[in-house]
Each structure stands twice: as C-alpha cells, then as structure tokens.
Structure 1
Amino acid sequence: MQVRPISPDNLAELLADRIAALPDARGRRLRVAVDGAPAALPGALADALVEPLRLRGHPTLRVSADGFLRPASIRLEYGHQDADAFHDLWLDDGALAREVLDPLEPGGSGRVLPSLRDPATDRSTRAPYTELPPGGVLLLDGALLLGRWLPLELTVHLALGPAALARRTPADQQWTLPAFARYEAETGPAATADVTVRVDDPRHPALVERP
C-alpha cells in the first residue's frame, strides 16, 4: 500500500476521471458515494465533483444521506447520545435504496427523491422528485454508508485517524466517536471502499493506493 499526497483540486479531477471511465458511463446512470465522518467533510468533496463531471459531459444530482434518517422515535429510542443506535438505526438505508439508488438501476425510471425527512424538524421535506438522465451521476455523501449492501458503482472513503477524528469532531458530537470506532473495526471502510483518501489535514489529502 502506498500513500500519495494530492491537492484537493487534483483529487477532484482524479475522481472525476475515475467516474467517467466506469463501464458504460455514457449510457447509464452512475451512483457514487463519498463516505466519511462529518469531520472529514464528505459533502464538500461530493460538491467539488459536480463541476469536473459537468465538464466531462455528466450531469449530476447531489443527495445527502442526512436527508434519509429514520424518524426520531426510532433514532432516539435509546436516548439522544447512544453510539450503537447512531451506528445501527439512524440511517434509513431501505428508504435510501428505494427512493434514490434503485430508480437508477439500468431500466429504472431515473426519478429520484433528493430528501425524505428533515432531521431537525423530523418532518417530511416534501421535496419533489428529480429525474437524472442517462449518463448522469448521483453524488451521495454521508457517514457509515459502507457495508450496507447499497447498490453503488463507486465508493470513496475519507479516512481520519482516531486522534484527528476526535480533534475535529465538535464537543457536542463526541458521543458519536465510539460508533466510528466500531465502524472501523466491523466494516473496515478503508479496505471496503474503491478509493480511500486520508484527510487528517483536509488541506493536504493523501490518496491510498492499493496494489
């Protein structure tokens, strides 16, 4: 395994090239996930891919997994700061697959619901369906996405060492750290993802290249 420093701009270009080179990228809809703890800023990397992909002829649709959390009655059944519930129960992966990923299968309708529930109000966002054309790319960001058998063409994991994760996680979110430790131990996201990027210092990411 080699670790190669790369600038944020070059990382976005490299990933855009990788996405555009996926089999039948012009003829089908592609589903790409950027996985990482909030402190790793997966949404920022997903946002950074929009323009490079547009320049390569691929329209994009941005979706955040935070828009597909289960109702508060389920998420908070064991309290507001239960790390195991955060790991196991918060993400409604069934709804995410049904409303976002499955419609982008070959022969699917292409109609995606960009968000289901506002986590702050615990109410439906009433977002309208959006159609992603063939050749389009769904860019999904979120935490704890891998190991759930979600249908994805490419997965990117933003890795933080334990010290960096603890340092960059706000005080009111420190209770989530055991969930990410469990994710590392049980899922091994760095080995599971198609692409892993170390982001202990977000200004100086490093690409992990496996033989």
Structure 2
Amino acid sequence: MPAGLDGYPDPIVTPEREVVLAHVVGRIEECAAARVVVGIDGASGAGKSTFADEVAARLRQRGHVVVRSTTDSFHRPRVERMRRGPTSPVGYYLDSHDLGAIQEELLTPFATGRTSVRIAAFDEPSDAPVEVTVDDVAERAVLVFDGLFLLRPELASRWRLVVHLTADRRRAAAWDAYLHDGLPADQTAREHERAQRLERARWPRYQDGWRLYVDEASPLERAEIVVDNDDLAAPRVVRSA
C-alpha cells in the first residue's frame, strides 16, 4: 500500500470527536452535486489523514460511495523535491507534490463523472512511481482528499468543501519533545545532539514553507470549516461558513 493510503489503525473515539465528525459529514451531505470533492487541509502533524479516514468511514456508514486519496500519494521524486536544497522552504511549498497528476488523473476525472480515477501515483518511502486506481466509481460519490497546501492557487477552485485543521499547541509540544527529550547530561554533547536533531528535522524547510502557504492562501479565512484538532479527544469546530 503506498504511503498515505495505509490508514491509522486505532483512532480516538469520543463523544466530542463524534460531534465534530457529524458536523462535517452533514455539511458534505448538503452539497447538491453528484460528485462532491472534499479537501482536508492542514500542516504536517495536524491529523489530516486520520480525520479524513474518519469522515470517509462515517460517510460510508451512511450509504455514500467514497474515494480516498491524499497528497502523500502524489509526491514528486526525491531529486525534484530537493532540487532547491534539503532545507529550502520554497522547495517544500513548490516542489513537494505533483500537482499536474493530482488534477489530471484524479480531480478532473472524478469531478467530470469518470468511473476510473487514479488515487496514488508515487510512493515516497521507496521513491518510486505506483499505479493505484479505483475503476468502479459510482455516478454519485464523494472524494475525500487530505493533504498539505490544498488552498494554493493551483488547487483552490477544485474543492466543493475544505476543512482546515489546526493543531498548533500539539505540534509545538511534539517539536519541543523531539528537540529536548533524552539529551546527554554533558553540555557540549547536549548542544551537539540538539544541532544534529535540528539538521535531521530540516525544521526551517517545513516551518517556513508552511508559512509561505499561509501567507499566500490564507487557509484559515478561506476554508469553509476550521477545526481546532489540538485535543484529539475533544476537537471543536472554530468556524463553519
């Protein structure tokens, strides 16, 4: 199974989370179209894939035909992603994903009623192309697509509904733990290990690359639904327009 489509085996189930998921499902069901394209947007670590899987499962429980996909299954080859350098924020924003394949092989065929669509074109861990298709899409169906940068100019008009997830406190806590937990007692060794962790994480690439997207696309203002997903057991709808 390509990266991004392998799912999360043990999602959190709480009444508070069910309320948020039910709200999103209800908004999707209000869309008056045979084919509905839904984007689940947010920064790395916000919980997009799990949230999208949960929405898809509840739609299926209600009798809808659902197609699932993600930007993680449409990466560009590593040499293209890193052509501006491994720490480049611009490279992270502009070069990570094959936008042409996402549009031409999934979004356009799905929206125009085709029965066959490609849901994965590349497996990032193996750095190799893949061919994963759904060949029996019903006339009425919902595409639930999660990923980074979904409201960028190239993709913004493609979605019938966008849910933007935030998780700033949880992501900051995870970063702090990565940077500081388990450091050596010796000061020199601590500084060396911290520097190594920073280099491995390529933090400026991801932090500043995400900021480029936020500055250009204003996802908090443009998404139809904004969900605070900091507390996975008790997310909340911040805005629903």
The reply to whether TM is greater than 0.5 is: yes
Q: Percent identity?
A: 26
3-state SS of 1:51 partner = helix
> Of the candidates 174, 190, 202, which is equivalent to residue 203 of structure 2?
174
Q: Tell me, in whole angstroms, the C-alpha distance in 1 between the residues paired with 2:98 and 2:118.
A: 14
User: Of the two structures, which has the highest relative contact order with CA contacts closer than 8 Å and spacing of 6 or more?
Assistant: 1
8 Å contact 1:39–1:168 — kept in the other structure? no
5+ long unaligned stretches in structure 1: 1-5
1:75 aligns with 2:105: no
1:116 aligns with 2:125: no
1:126 aligns with 2:156: no
Higher helix share: 2
Structure 1 residue 142, shift from structure 2 partner:
0.6
1:153 aligns with 2:160: yes
1:66 aligns with 2:91: no
Structure 1 residue 81, shift from structure 2 partner:
2.6
Report the TM-score when normalising by structure 1: 0.86
Q: Tell me, in whole angstroms, the C-alpha distance in 1 between the residues paired with 2:37 and 2:73.
A: 17
Q: Which residue of 1 aligns with 2:16?
A: 7
Cα-Cα RMSD: 2.0
3-state SS of 1:113 partner = strand
Q: Which residue of 2 aligns with 1:140?
A: 145
5+ long unaligned stretches in structure 2: 1-14, 180-200
Q: Tell me, in whole angstroms, the C-alpha distance in 1 between the residues paired with 2:214 and 2:170.
A: 14
Paired residues, number: 201
1:57 aligns with 2:63: yes
One-letter identity of the residue aligned with 1:184 = V
Report the TM-score when normalising by structure 2: 0.76
User: Structure 1 residues 179, 37: closer, same or farther in 2, change over 3 A?
Assistant: same
User: Structure 1 residues 167, 185: closer, same or farther in 2, change over 3 A?
Assistant: farther
Task: Say which one has the larger Rg.
Answer: 2
